[in-house]
Amino acid sequence: MIIFEIIFWLSVFLIFHTYVLYPVLLKILASRKKFNFQSNTEELPSVSILMSCFNEETVIAQKIESIIHSNYPQEKIQIIIGSDNSSDNTNYIIASYSEKYSNIIFKPFYIRQGKSNIINQLYDISTGEILILTDANVFFDKNTINEIVKPFQNPEIGLVDSNMINTGIKLEGISFQEKSYISREVIIKHREGLLWGTMMGPFGGCFAIRRKLYSPVPKNFLVDDFYICMKVLEMKYKAINNLEAKVFEDVSNNLSIEFKRKIRIATGDFQNLNRFKKLLFPPWKGLAFSFFSHKVLRWITPIFMLLAWISAFIMSFSSDFYLILFIAYNFIYFLALADFLLKKLNIHNIILRFITHFLTMNLALLIGMFKSIKGVESNVWKPTKRNQ
pLDDT of amino acid 170:
79
175-230: pLDDT as tens digits: 888 899 999 999 999 999 999 999 999 998 999 999 999 999 999 999 999 999 99
Q: How far is CA 347 from CA 105, 354, 355, 357, in A?
A: 49, 14, 15, 16
- pLDDT exceeds cutoff 70 at 383: no
Domains and CATH numbers, the chain: 1-33+155-203+218-388 (no CATH), 45-136 (3.90.550.10)
DSSP string, 273-311: HHHHGGGG-STTSHHHHHIIIIIIHHHTHHHHHHHHHHH
- pLDDT exceeds cutoff 70 at 381: no
228-276: pLDDT as tens digits: 999 999 999 999 999 999 999 988 778 888 899 999 999 999 999 999 9
pLDDT of amino acid 235:
98
pTM score of the predicted model:
0.93
- pLDDT exceeds cutoff 60 at 386: no
pLDDT of amino acid 129:
98
pLDDT of amino acid 388:
54
User: What's the rounded mean pLDDT across residues 84-96?
Assistant: 97
* Contact assessment for residue 208 and residue 132, using Cβ atoms and an 8 Å cutoff: yes
Q: Please report which confidence band the pLDDT of residue 10 belongs to, taking 50, 70 and 90 as the band edges.
A: very high
pLDDT of amino acid 168:
77
